[in-house]
Amino acid sequence: MADEKNQDPFASPVLSDKVREEIEGLTSTERAAVLLLLLGEKEAAGIIKYMNPKEVQAIGAAMVSASDLSQEAVNFVLDQFVLTLKQQTSLGLGSSDYVESVLKQALGEDKAASVLGRIMPGQSSKGLEILRWMDARAIADMVRNEHPQVVAIILSVLEYEVAADVLNYLPRETRAEIMQRVARLETVQPAAMEELEAIMKKQFSSNSSARSSSVGGVAAAAKIMNFAKVDLETQVMSGLLNLDQEIAQQIQDNMFTFENLVDVDNRAIQVIMRNVEPDLLMTALKGSSEPCKEKFFGNMSSRARVMFIDDMEAKGPIRISDVEDAQKKIMRTARKLSDSGELVLAGRGDDFV
């Protein structure tokens, strides 16, 4: 009897192999979803309102799929959460310095700064934050008559996929200049942010930031273009080449390239191989890196691989310009396949999905 009283009620229970496998397969998002479901509607809603759109989408999907979990797995998640709380102290909790330190360690300086800009008092721009929840067409309608610099700043603070959609709804004749300005952005000073906030007051009230904000840049412009449909990308980059060749080249250099195909899954590689001519692929691979070649070779049968390599070597020396042209053609095909949902290009999403 005494032994029972001394037992830790939160000690890890004996789990079956099936339940243990189920628990080990849970992501942190799925565990959070279980806790929200256990809290009840009102309490869960109170937490979700502090999440950004991407987080809401992820946690919502996880909450739906959590209905398939066993009761043992649910109990384990709850027990582990309570155990974690028991091990916490109040030291540092609620301190802005503590929160900033934790986020920087977890996310790194750049990502932490972005998150802190949204959650720390006095460090967020309410007007621009609301934009993250608006439809791309609505944002485009709201800003289409504003100065291209204003539009560039707004595109820079949006999710890259949303920014690409907004760009698609803007007038054709302004797109190239806007992307040029996005690429040239580095920081926006408080006075400029205040002016931008004043513009946003046409739609909703807001408070300006009291510090300069890091937005835009060539990398941001490239990521926006990565999410643009192929036709839109072609039109914008063509206009940008006429407007500013140097910026256009820098953006192209930072976009998803043939070498980035090393990071996509095997299924995507197989889809690409089925949709491009073998001769074109041979030319493209002649000038690619060994990891890139192995990515494609690894998705061929042993016999097909030997024949492909023999034919590729038989082509002899190929001009670099021909290799680059072949790689661009394959990437255009890959982008179209990605647009149609037949494959996913890693990098067109999170830190260029």
Q: Tens digit of pLDDT for each residue in 80-123?
A: 877 776 665 544 444 556 566 666 666 666 566 656 555 554 44
Q: According to the model, what pLDDT value does residue 299 have?
A: 92
Q: Does domain 256-339 have CATH number 1.10.220.30?
A: yes
Give me the helix-helix angle, 71-86 and 28-39, nearest 10°.
90
Pairwise CA distance, residues 255 & 193, whole Å: 28
| Ranges of the chain with pLDDT below 70 | 1-14, 67, 85-133, 186-216, 230, 346-353
Annotated domain spans of the chain: 2-86, 126-253, 256-339
* Structure tokens that stand for 246 in this block: 């140097």
Of the candidates 82, 156, 157, the one whose C-alpha atom is nearest the C-alpha of residue 118 is: 157
Cβ neighbours of residue 297 closer than 8 Å, sequence gap 6 or more: 305, 308, 309
Q: According to the model, what pLDDT value does residue 197 have?
A: 62
Cβ neighbours of residue 263 closer than 8 Å, sequence gap 6 or more: 346, 347
Q: According to the model, what pLDDT value does residue 280 have?
A: 93
- Asked if the domains 126-253 and 256-339 are classified in one and the same CATH topology, the answer is yes
Give me the helix-helix angle, 278-286 and 290-297, nearest 10°.
150
Pairwise CA distance, residues 260 & 159, whole Å: 21
Choose which CATH entry (3.40.50.2300, 1.10.220.30, 1.10.40.60, 3.40.50.300) describes domain 126-253: 1.10.220.30
- Please state the pTM of the whole predicted model: 0.40
Q: According to the model, what pLDDT value does residue 293 have?
A: 92
